[in-house]
Amino acid sequence: MTKPQHPALAAFVTALAGRNMTRAAYVAVALGMSATVLLTMDPAYEAGRRWIIALLWGCLVFFVVEWAVRVQQAARAHRAAAYLMSGRGLLDTLSGLAVPVALVSGMEVRTAWLLAVIWVLKVTSGVPGLRQLRRVLVVEARPLLSVLVLFLGSVAEYALEHDEQPATFGTIPSALWWAVATLTTTGYGDVVPITPLGRVVAATVMISGLGVLGLWTGILATGFAAETRRDNFLKTWESVSWVPFFASLGPSTIADVAQMLHTIDLPPRAIVIRKGKPGDCMYFIASGEVEVDLPGKKVRLGEGGFFGEMALLGNNLRSADISTTGLSKLLVLDLVDFRVLMARHPDLAQSIDAEARRRTMENRT
C-alpha cells in the first residue's frame, strides 16, 4: 500500500511533470550544450571554469529532479517498472546518471562532462522533423534496404583486394568504409582498388551509388510529403469536428470538408474580417490566434477555434471585426465549396438548418 502524498506536494509534482517541465528541459538543454561547447575551448574554460562547471552541475541537478518526478508519477500510476524500461525512462536515467558515473569511475572531468551530449536526445521528440523522419524510416524500411549494395560491394572488394592491400581491405569493416566513401562521394575516397576486377566492382558501386542515392532521396521526399499531409489532415479533421454543425456528421462528410479547405498565412495584426462586410467563407485556426472585437469586450480564439460560420448559415454580413494577434495560419472553407458539399451530403443541409434556427433564437433572446 502506497503512502498518501501531501496534496501540495502532489500538485507540485503534477505541475513539474507537465508542460512546465518540458519547457524548462529545453532551457536546460540549451544552457547545458552551451556550457559543453565552452568546456572544449581552452581560453574560455580557463577564464570561467567555475561558472561553466557550476552551470553544468545545475543542469544535471535539473535532469535528476526531472527523472525523480517522472518515477514518482509512474509509481503513483503503478507503472514505475514500465517507465524505467521504456525508451523515455532509459533516456531520463542516462541523462541523470551518465556523467556522475563517469566522474566516480575516475574519468577526466572535461571528458566526463562530454557525456552531457545525451541531454540533446531529450528534446528530439519535440522536433516535428525528427519525428517525421523516424516514421518515414519505419514505414519505408523495406525500400530503403537497397543500401545493401554497400555490403555486397564491400564483400566483393574484400575478396578481391585483401591479399593485395591487407592494410586497407584486410577486413570486411575496412572494405565497408571504402564502400560508404565511394557510394556517398561518387569516387574512391581515401582507398583505391588496384586489381582489375576490384576496379570493375568499384565502377559498379559508383554507378549504383547514383541510383541508390536518387532512390533514397525520392523515398524520403515522398515519405516526408505523405507524413506532412497526414499530420495536416489530422489537424484539419480535429478543427472541423469542433464546429457544431459538423460534429454530428459522419467521417466521410468531415473528410470531404477537410479536403476542400485551403490555407492562408497571415502576419500579426492582419484584418481577417471587417464588421458589416459581406462574408462568403468561414475560417478555422490551424495555428496562431485571432482577436474578435465584440461590443464591450474582446475575445481571443486560439488553435482549434473557428469563426465566420454565420456566412454559411445564410447571414452573409459580418457581425464583428476580427484580426490576428500574431503570425497565424488559417484554413478557409468557401461558401461555393460548402454548397457543393451540401449537394453531396443531404444530411449536412439538415444540420445547417437546425444550427441556423438555433442561432436565430439566440440572437432574438
> Does the pLDDT at position 268 exceed 80?
yes
Q: What is the band of 261 on the pLDDT scale with cuts at 50, 70, 90? A: confident
Domains contained in the chain, number: 3
Q: Look at residue 135 and tell me if it is in a domain.
A: no
Place of cell 502524498: 5
Amino acid residing at 281: C
Domain co-membership, 264 together with 320: yes
Q: Look at residue 237 and tell me if it is in a domain.
A: no
CA nearest to 340, candidates 348, 350, 329, 351: 348
Domain co-membership, 13 together with 78: yes
Domain co-membership, 360 together with 248: yes
Q: What is the band of 141 on the pLDDT scale with cuts at 50, 70, 90? A: low
Q: Could you tell me the pTM of the whole model?
A: 0.50
Please report, for the domain that includes residue 209, its CATH number. 1.10.287.70
Q: Look at residue 138 and tell me if it is in a domain.
A: no
Q: Look at residue 279 and tell me if it is in a domain.
A: yes
Domain co-membership, 259 together with 355: yes
* Average per-residue pLDDT for the chain: 77
Domain co-membership, 122 together with 164: no
Q: Can you give the residue range of the structural domain that contains 166?
A: 143-228
Domain co-membership, 291 together with 358: yes
Q: Look at residue 233 and tell me if it is in a domain.
A: no
CA nearest to 91, candidates 59, 123, 47, 61: 123
Q: What is the band of 1 on the pLDDT scale with cuts at 50, 70, 90? A: very low
Give me the DSSP letters along 164-217. Answer: T-HHHHSSHHHHHHHHHHHHHHTS-TT----SHHHHHHHHHHHHHHHHHHHHHH
The pLDDT assigned to 58 comes to: 92
Domain co-membership, 223 together with 280: no
- Give the pLDDT confidence of 162-194 residue by residue, as tens digits: 888 888 788 888 888 877 777 666 555 567 778
Q: What is the band of 57 on the pLDDT scale with cuts at 50, 70, 90? A: very high
**CA atoms of 206 and 178, how far apart (whole Å):** 11
**What grid cell was written down for 285?**
485556426
**CA atoms of 226 and 131, how far apart (whole Å):** 13
Please report, for the domain that includes residue 341, its CATH number. 2.60.120.10
**CA atoms of 280 and 148, how far apart (whole Å):** 56
Residues in Cβ contact with 305 at an 8 Å cutoff, skipping those fewer than 6 apart: 242, 284, 285, 290
Domain co-membership, 115 together with 175: no
Q: Look at residue 46 and tell me if it is in a domain.
A: yes
